[in-house]
Amino acid sequence: MKKSNLLFFFSLLTAIFASCPVASIAQAEKLGIVKYTPVSGWTKTVKPNVISMSTFDQTSGKYCVITLYGATPGTGNANSDFGREWNNLIVKNMKADANPTIETQLSDGWTVVAGGSEVESELGKGAGFLTVISGFGKTVSILAVFNDPIYVNQVDTFIKGIDLDKSVASASNTAAPPATQDGKVVIPMPSRQLTVSDLIGEWGETAGFSTTYVDRYSGTYAGTDSLHFRNKRTITRNGGYVNDFFAIQNGKKIIDKTSGTISINGRILSIRQHNTAKYVIRGWLELADMTILTVCGPWYDDDVIPERIFTTIEQGANLNANWIRKK
């Protein structure tokens, strides 16, 4: 596929996206909270919470596949939702740009993020265009992969025909209060593999202590040591990391701003700056107004993390920290 054709695809799709709010019209079929109209004459494939419609011209080799992914829990951040879906649906399955240019718009309480790039899959080279609709605790994705601008109007029509029932989304998002133990919220282990896309946004962490010392013989006051700090961590779609640190130690201000990159391998979250700090992920909890990530650490560079840190929740509990991202 020629580069000029690819640019033409996206000039058309950008125009479509800019003028296309999430529609509120009667639809022929439903997938959970999603109402949609199938593309007439195309092959339809149904899987759990996924509808795929495709057409393939054997003579010319032209093809288009539109896949609708039903509602799943969102991260609370539309850009994070898009990054997660782009990585899971495109980057992991095709050769594609890991960080596509995106467009964002608001529509009736939903946030719509769309972007695309040239892709290469088992069908050959083409264009991949992903639209992710986020809101009310839910995320819905529409992925179109095609290799000729003849299909742009059909992609346009399908996206315009999407209608989301936010009343159902809001109702299904009403969850029971989080579990507590000894008066503290229980933050469970993640139920799935986390990626950097899940972490996009701004995370806050605050902590502190004050210790008063006395002479062991006379019992008289011997001084106080105190430290109170705030970390504001910002994580971007491409794994960029910025930490804005502010602390007051014994009345003295400490200000430090650093940057680097962040990655996740299994349960190990690594932050690379002048060295590499490694944390073990121990908890992930999504609430109505915030997301909480519990990590244990850090260990640095070639330090070996003890196996019991992964298997025994009480081990290293003094190294636990909660990062909080508000919605």
What are 98-124's pLDDT values in tens digits? Answer: 888 888 888 778 899 999 999 998 888
To the nearest 10°, report the CA torsion of 82, 87, 93, 96.
90
Task: Provide the sign of the torsion angle of the four alpha carbons 85, 272, 259, 244, taken in this order.
Answer: positive
Rounded to 5°, the CA angle 323-324-327 comes to 155
| Segment 245-257, tens digit of pLDDT | 877 776 778 788 9
Q: Could you give the CA distance from residue 260 to residue 238 in angstroms, rounded to a whole number? A: 11
Run of H or E residues at 8: helix 3-18
Pairing mode of beta strands 184-185, 268-272: unpaired
Burial of 190 from C-beta contacts in 10 A (0-12 / 13-18 / 19+): middle
Q: How far apart are the first and last CA of the chain?
A: 41
pLDDT at 26: 41
Q: Could you give the CA distance from residue 49 to residue 236 in angstroms, rounded to a whole number? A: 29
Hey, how many other C-beta atoms are within 10 angstroms of the C-beta on 24? 12
Residue 274 has pLDDT above 50, yes or no: yes
Inter-residue contact 141 to 58 (CB < 8 Å): no
Inter-residue contact 155 to 144 (CB < 8 Å): yes
Run of H or E residues at 160: helix 152-160
- At 263, the pLDDT band (50, 70, 90 cuts) reads very high
3-state secondary structure of 16: helix
Look up the CATH architecture of domain 180-326: Beta Barrel (2.40)
Residue ranges covered by each domain of the chain: 3-172, 180-326
Most confident of 18-22, 207-211, 275-279: 275-279
- At 133, the pLDDT band (50, 70, 90 cuts) reads very high
Q: Could you give the CA distance from residue 260 to residue 241 in angstroms, rounded to a whole number? A: 5
Give domain 3-172's CATH number out of 3.40.50.300, 1.10.357.10, 3.40.50.970, 3.40.1000.10. Answer: 3.40.1000.10
Most confident of 70-79, 264-273, 280-289, 311-320: 264-273
Rounded to 5°, the CA angle 104-36-171 comes to 75
- At 205, the pLDDT band (50, 70, 90 cuts) reads confident
